[in-house]
Structure 1
Amino acid sequence: MRFRLDIDMTDMTEEGQAAREIGRALRYWGGNLHHFALEPGDGSTITDSAHREIGNWRVVD
């Protein structure tokens, strides 16, 4: 099994914005992963601080 995290940084053009948004996503999802079984097929979208979808995480076989 693999845990995949995909974040689109295309629109993160402000200096330091990518690091802030990715750090925020990792803290948020890292703290919430215990709510998931982490089995193949589990996953969710990832949003930025403005609640726009910027990626997803998923568990794959």
Structure 2
Amino acid sequence: MRFVIDIDMDAITGGAPQEIARILRYWAGALPQMELTTGVEQELMDSSYSPVGHLRVTG
């Protein structure tokens, strides 16, 4: 299995490094509550709640 975080940096409003760091901190905290099985997918949002990518677990 693969755990994939795909962020479209061109879609981020504001500073990309800060937004990516915020996204990673959020999902790092959420991982213990997630069931990491093939097919899991979550949309990633920047701080203005605009979609900027996906988190996926693939087989």
TM-score by length of 1: 0.87
Regions of 4+ moved over 4 Å? none
Distance 2:28 2:8 in 1: 18
- Which structure 2 segments of 5+ residues have no match? none
Please point out which of 48, 51, 55 is paired with 1:50: 48
Distance 1:47 1:11 in 2: 10
CA RMSD of aligned residues (A): 1.4
- Which structure 1 segments of 5+ residues have no match? none
Q: Which has the higher helix share?
A: 2
Aligned residue pairs total: 59
